[in-house]
Amino acid sequence: MPEGDTVWRACQRLNEVLAGRALTRSEFRVPSLAATDLTGVGVREVISRGKHQLFRFSNGLTLHTHFRMDGAWRIYPRGRRWSGGPGFEVRAVLATSDHDAVGYRLPVIELLPTAAEDTVVGHLGPDLLGPDWNLDEAVRRIAAQPDRSLGEALLDQRNLAGLGTFYRAELLFLHGVHPRTPVQHVRNLRRIVERAQLLLQANRWRPEQSTTGDLRPGRRSYVYERSGQPCRRCGTPIRTEEFGPRGEERRSFWCPHCQPGP
């Protein structure tokens, strides 16, 4: 699942090619918007809010999309063949005289008044890469549920927006905290949340997500997707499990020696 830095970078690029331009073509391949045509409408800006994408138009409407597990927006110079996937996976097309922005496999795509954006993103906590980032508020929200595991609290977008399973696993390893540790037993909570923002900031302009400082394949993470492989610090095999509320379980990775259980 794309994390906040990936979504932020995608929206930066979309904003570069769409903002300040009028649409020469719009197409929505979802039943709810099949008859909608935004041709001729200007694009004011494209921004991210956590893992959400907001396309704001000059007619007072906003297109809200979300990648979930494998959605993506791809940008092509006008006239170039689209190569992001088979045609049946295309859910949206926004084109200008210079570029085509093509949305693939988007599970969330809806049009709403810009003034009503809070109905889809108002529940989110401070955005790790947004102008509203507030370390104190993010820590306060997490600490408000002291019995909850820190692993679950970090993925709750109502606490802080933009963090996913990659950064959760890496953050907890870097701080020696087991994913199931209750929030009330975490002494360095503020430092963990502060580092979350620093890691996303460091990776936001590059396609490779790395917490080790090494961008080579297979060397970018300490524990994430390294189940059974030796810990880079102590050599203990990395462990993994899925946990979380029913229907919202997420894969977690940790080192049993560096991150002893609660």
**CATH number of the domain that residue 228 is part of:** 1.10.8.50
3-state secondary structure 119-162: HHHCCCCCECCCCCCCHHHHHHHHHCCCCCEHHHHHHCCCCCEC
246 and 139 within one domain:
yes
pLDDT score, position 54 = 98
Position with higher pLDDT, 123 vs 245: 123
Residue 128 lies in a domain: no
Residue 19 scores a pLDDT above 70: yes
Could you read off the pLDDT of 136-152 as tens digits, one per residue?
999 999 999 999 999 99
* Annotated active-site residue in 2, 168, 170, 204: 2
pLDDT bucket at 262, cuts 50 / 70 / 90: confident
pLDDT score, position 120 = 97
CA of 216: how far to CAs of 11, 165, 208, 211, 213, in Å?
25, 20, 9, 12, 9
Looking at the structure of the chain, the number of domains it has is 2
Structural domain of 185: 135-254
pLDDT bucket at 247, cuts 50 / 70 / 90: confident
Q: Which helix (H) or strand (E) holds 186?
A: none
3-state helix, strand, coil in the chain (%, to 5): 25, 25, 50
250 and 139 within one domain:
yes
* Annotated active-site residue in 44, 220, 226, 250: 250
Please tell me whether the overall predicted TM-score, pTM, comes out greater than 0.85 for this model: yes
Locate 149 and state its tokens: 């595991």
**Cβ within 8 Å of residue 110, ≥6 positions away:** 32, 33, 63, 64, 65, 120
76 and 25 within one domain:
yes
141 and 102 within one domain:
no
CATH (domain of 61): 3.20.190.10
Q: Which residue has the tokens 């059974």?
A: 228
pLDDT score, position 1 = 67
Name the average pLDDT for the chain: 96
* Annotated active-site residue in 49, 51, 141, 226: 51
145 and 75 within one domain:
no
Could you read off the pLDDT of 179-203 as tens digits, one per residue?
999 999 999 999 999 999 999 999 9
143 and 249 within one domain:
yes
Residue 99 lies in a domain: yes
Residue 204 lies in a domain: yes
Residue 48 scores a pLDDT above 80: yes
Percentage of the chain modeled with pLDDT above 90:
95
Residue 25 scores a pLDDT above 70: yes
111 and 139 within one domain:
no
Residue 29 lies in a domain: yes
Could you read off the pLDDT of 156-167 as tens digits, one per residue?
999 999 999 999
Between CA 87 and CA 172 the distance in angstroms is 40
Could you read off the pLDDT of 87-110 as tens digits, one per residue?
999 999 999 999 999 999 999 999
**Cβ within 8 Å of residue 123, ≥6 positions away:** 157, 158
139 and 107 within one domain:
no
pLDDT score, position 2 = 84
Between CA 226 and CA 258 the distance in angstroms is 15
Which of 133, 130, 104 lies closest to 30 in space, CA to CA? 104
**Domain C-terminal end among 96, 121, 146:** 121
29 given a catalytic annotation: no
Residue 44 lies in a domain: yes
217 and 141 within one domain:
yes
Residue 204 scores a pLDDT above 80: yes
Residue 245 scores a pLDDT above 80: yes
Residue 261 lies in a domain: no
Residue 209 lies in a domain: yes
208 given a catalytic annotation: no
117 given a catalytic annotation: no
Residue 262 lies in a domain: no
82 and 15 within one domain:
yes
Between CA 91 and CA 93 the distance in angstroms is 7
235 and 167 within one domain:
yes
**Domain C-terminal end among 121, 150, 177:** 121
pLDDT score, position 251 = 93
Q: Tell me the DSSP string of 58-123.
A: TTSEEEEEE-TTT-EEEEEETTSPP-SS-GGGEEEEEE-SSEEEEEES-SEEEEEEGGGTHHHHTT
Average pLDDT rounded to a whole number, residues 38-44 = 98
226 given a catalytic annotation: no
pLDDT bucket at 252, cuts 50 / 70 / 90: very high
147 and 248 within one domain:
yes
Could you read off the pLDDT of 53-77 as tens digits, one per residue?
999 999 999 999 999 989 999 999 9
**Domain C-terminal end among 121, 154, 179:** 121
